[in-house]
Amino acid sequence: MDTKRKDLRFEMTSPSYQRIGEFCNNKRKGWNARRLNVNDEPFPWKSPLLLDWLVAKRVLRKWERELLRAGVYLRNSLSHLEQASVLPPDSGILNRVAEDINVLFSR
């Protein structure tokens, strides 16, 4: 439900973070992920909000959130390069970050 226009509702079978984001991003009139409520809670439309929500729901501990924030930052900085690095990243670290992020969505 969009919190700005309470008359808009949509039920989704098997919702996922990605499907909800795609639903809003498909230029649907009146739907904005930043003002969306899912099950009467604000939708965590960006990764820091999602990590905070996972801590609030006790899926993650605070120290795990900080490790994942660092991992997401590393992943994003390597995926969206502004300039080429002289040293390549350690593939083991990137694999570990990817595994940690994947585990979040399998819980």
Q: Tell me the chain's radius of gyration from C-alpha atoms.
A: 17
Chain segment 23-63, per-residue pLDDT in tens: 888 867 778 888 888 888 898 888 899 999 999 999 999 99
pLDDT of residue 49: 93
Res. 3: pLDDT tops 70: no
24 touches 35 (CB < 8 A)? no
Chain segment 79-105, per-residue pLDDT in tens: 777 777 777 767 787 788 788 877 776
pTM for this prediction? 0.67
pLDDT of residue 1: 42
List, in sequence order, every residue forming a beta bridge with 41; answer none if it has no partner: 38
7 touches 32 (CB < 8 A)? no
Helix, strand, coil fractions of the chain, as percent rounded to 5: 50, 5, 40
